[in-house]
Structures are given as C-alpha cells and as structure tokens.
Amino acid sequence: MKQKTPTRRRWRNAAVLATAAVTAGALAAAPASAEVVDVADGHNVGVFHSIDMIAAFGWAAGEDVTVNVLRDGVLIGTETGPAVEGPDGIGIEINHGPEGAAVDGDCWEGQTPDILPGDVIQATNGTDTDEVVVDHMGFTGEPFLAPNGDVLLDGVAKTSAGVAIPPSALDSAEFRDGSRFRVFANEIRVTPRPGEVGGFRMRYNPNRNFERNRDNRTPAQIRQTLLTVDGHMIGFGHTEPLPLDTQMAEGLGDAPGPAPGCTGPSAQWGVNRVNPGAVNRSTLAGGLTVNGVAHNATAVRVELSDGTNTVATQATGTANWSASFTRAQLQRLDDAELTVNGLYTVPALVAGGEGGEITGKTQTVLKDLVRPTAPRATPRAGLHRGTQRVRLRAPGGDDIRWTLGNGRQAAPTATRGNLYTGPLAITSDQVLKARAVDAAGNVSTILRQGYRIGNVSTRPRIRRASAGAAGGRATATARWQSPRVTNGRVKGYRVTALKLRSNGSVASQKVSRLRQPRARSLQMRLPRGSYRFRVFAVNPFGKSALSVRSNRVQSR
C-alpha cells in the first residue's frame, strides 16, 4: 500500500468541474431517472465512466475515504486516500490526472477498472457509505453539420436498466477548447432523438455570441472547432450546488484507462454467480451455470472440485464470462461443498512480466443428492378435543415447510408453503401436509395428517316426562331431545330421577346409565312418589352439562 500523504493536490484537468461547489446545506436532487442508491446529504458522487474517473465530495479534510467499483458484486477497482481540498470542495478525485507525483487517492490501486453502466460505485470512510449505480451515458457518433450550418452531435442517456433520462435533466452539456473557448449548457440545445430509448441530439449554433470566446473566433472558425476538436461533454449534476449524484460522459476520443500521471492497468477476476444455488435431486438434470468477470484475460477455464475430484470446462466470453457443467460432470463429484474456481489466461502485463494462467476469487456451491427424512407431527392425526397445538420435527434438523387445508391444497415444496417456526394451532377439521427441506433444497416425502377437532356436546333438551301406568310396578318415564356434538357422536346418557318432598326439595336421587346413543326416553322403576328428571349426554370428549329439570310426575 502506498504511504498516505494528506496534502493538497492539483489536477492537470482541474477545470472539469470548476463551476460546481459543495455546500454545507441540503443538495439539489438528482434527476428522477438517475439511479442513486444511497448518498448522504451534503455529499456527492461524481461518475465519469467514459474516462474511468470517480469524484466523491462532502467528507472531512484528512479523512480516509475508500472508493470501490463493483460489478455483479465483484470488486473490480478500489482506491483509498485522504479527502483534500480541490476545485469542487473537500473530497477525493480518482484517475483525474494528478499534477506531479501521484499520491493516495489520485489513481486506482493496482489497476484502472473499465467502469461500465450498471457498475456500483461506493464511497466510504468505513462507517458511512455513499452508493450509486452507473448510468449509460455517452456519444454515439462524430459531430456533423445540419443543413442550416449548425453542428449536431448524437448520444444516449439512460439508466443501466434502460430507462431514458430526459434531455431536460441533462443540465451539463458543454464544449471546451482549453480556457479560450467554451460553450455552456444554456447555449446548447439538447432535444430527444426519436428511434432510440434515451437518445438525444446536441445542437450548437456557431452564430451565437458565446460567453467564452476569448480569441474572438468567427462563426466559421467556431464551426470548425466544434467539428474537429475533442471537447464535448454531456451529463447531469454539473450544477451548483452539487446534487447527490453527478454522471458525465466526457470527450469523443478519450479512452478508458489510467489518466496521465497514473500507472497502467492490472486486473481483478472472480466468480460472481452460481446458478442454481445448490446441486440437489431436482437441479442435477439441468447442470450448473457459472458466471464471472475478468479484465485483460484472453481465455477463462473454470474448475469445479469436491476437494478430491475435479471437473473443468472452458468459459465463453472473457470480460463477462459464462461456463456450464453437465449432469455427467456433476455426478463425478462427491456430495460436498464444491469450490468453483476461474483460471484466467492473461498477458505478461497482468502477470508481472510473464503471461500465463492465474486464479481469482472463488465461490462455493453445495452438492447433496440425498433426500431428507419426512418430518414428524405431535399429536398424531385423528379425533381431538378442542384446539390442538401441533409440533413438527425434522429428524435431521432440516427446515420444514407446511400447508393446512381441506386435503386438496397444494403440497409444500422447497420454496412454497409456510416455513415452520413453532407449533401450529389447529382449531377445526384440517389436513396438514409437511415436508422437510435440507440445505441443498432436497425435499422429503410428504407427511399427511388429518385432524378432526370436536367438542363436548350441548346439554340435552328435556321434554315432557310422564307417570307410569296405574297398577303393577311403580314407574315413571323421562324424555329428552338429542344434543348437538361437533365431530364424533353421543355414546350414551345418564338419567337422574330426583325424588321430591312435599315442599319440592330433593329427598333422594337415582341414576341410570344408558348406553344407547339413539335413545330419547327411559322408563325407570322407582319407589312410589313424586319425581323430576335431569339428563346429560356422554361422548368421546366427555359429558355434557345437565339438562334442566323436567316437569313433576308421579311414579305409579
């Protein structure tokens, strides 16, 4: 790492953003279509992807700021340096062409990344981080003459997602020929260009009295300058005060790479995506696809290893490459945490003087073709009284997914269904379907359990009792209406005969057990006297409440 030198820097191209300044207050908002992810108030992230330059302002003087460039989650460029005072406030400007020896913060560390639309730019002090996405902005051809003598220049401005940035938001259209001749945004007409999303057209009128024409150039000279000198610039955010996000395309002939004063590029490489995320019983047939990024590589070979066995394949593409492994290749590897490694053929410039095959950032992917054991449920299926708290357990400690319904509901899969986190409250008749899902996404066979939830029956409704016939044994008959019960059925009844004193109080009682679920009456042999009856029902969940007392009858 270079020794940090928190001194004031000077830039060869210091005029690039000379009209902008950072203020301590709230900053103007970026265009609605700009892809600002998260930038703090008082900060600015300026992106010049056509020249691989990043400027980050709003940090404290002397504060170490790291700027990272990420593509698909892979770090492809980084630099750390102290924030210093520059033309646009206190911050750090990387790859802007330092005047004199480069110090920390001037040039990219070890490489100059080729910054492209869709890359993520981060500026951080280790605690707070500003982040923006690089927009697609640039010129699509050379300047040319309109029939009326105006100079035209076409370009495109859109987000990396392909959403057009309206010309009204492009507030930073400029042309510069050194310090002698400059045309600013309010002197350039920018209009939409039909036929291309985000397409725009810049129009210069050479007959205008431009604000910066120190050589008093004639319209013919101005027209020639606009057609032949490489000084065009387009973008948004080149305003005062600086907004959260500034994105510019500078120059027709400026090539990506290190600015004057910065060293040549080296490279970073890496595997950044593996799809599917695991190799299991269901994904094995489709094979495995691997994607990655590389810089300055002429070929990419990709290896997949279980630690003992290795299979390899050649990638297609280099800067953004892709490689595929077949089912047959995957079956040659053990069930294990597989390592995916890219091997990059690079020139001598990258390999420290000797070209060859080098390695980069790796990824891992789990291979597991064993189906887990089905989960278990407690309590088991069947008829239960009242709400049941059903607990599920996967013998292997795997995740469990479940569904409840009438039995015709879809069964859970590795990604569909509820993830079990605790006991399930089952309050009515339901069918539970559950599967265990292991770390690789394999699913077990289905556990299917049906629960019937019942309750104690309502109390029987007493009906009119009657006395026995005169003569013979003394009897009386109790009558009732069958009660309601949720699930299950009545198993029998208990009939109580209450013998009454003359004042109506109970002198004694006799209970008869009746194991006839369909019974609705009972003739009881009773000592002669006056009686009332009460009845309760018995079902699988217990006994109901007692009925009210019947009418008063005589046993005779």
Three-state SS string across 323-379, please?
A: EEECHHHHHCCCCCEEEEEEEEEECCCCCCCCCEEEECECEEEEECCCCCCCCEEEC
Q: Is residue 144 part of a domain?
A: yes
For residues 440 and 468, membership in a common domain is answered with: no
Cis peptide before 241 (omega within 30 of 0): yes
Contact partners, residue 37, CB within 8 Å, separation at least 6: 120, 131, 132, 133
Q: Which of 454, 480, 509 is the last residue of a domain?
A: 454
The pLDDT of residue 10: 33
**What are the DSSP calls for 107-133, one per residue?**
S-SS------TT-EEEEESSS-EEEEE
Q: Is residue 13 part of a domain?
A: no
The pLDDT of residue 36: 57
Q: 150-200 pLDDT, tens per residue?
A: 999 999 999 988 999 999 999 989 999 988 999 988 889 999 999 899 999
Token pair 């019974």 is found at 519
Which domain covers residue 305, as residue numbers?
A: 270-367
For residues 235 and 148, membership in a common domain is answered with: yes
Tokens of 492: 């029998």
Which residue ranges in the chain fall short of pLDDT 50? 1-34, 266, 351
Tokens of 391: 């607990």
Tokens of 363: 């990824």
For residues 145 and 243, membership in a common domain is answered with: yes
Residue 88, SS3 per DSSP: coil
CATH of residue 320's domain is 2.60.40
Q: How far apart are CA 477 and CA 523, in angstroms?
A: 4
The count of domains in the chain is 5
Q: Which of 134, 169, 201 is the last residue of a domain?
A: 134
Q: Is residue 153 part of a domain?
A: yes
Contact partners, residue 426, CB within 8 Å, separation at least 6: 387, 388, 389, 390, 404, 432, 451, 453
Q: Is residue 403 part of a domain?
A: yes
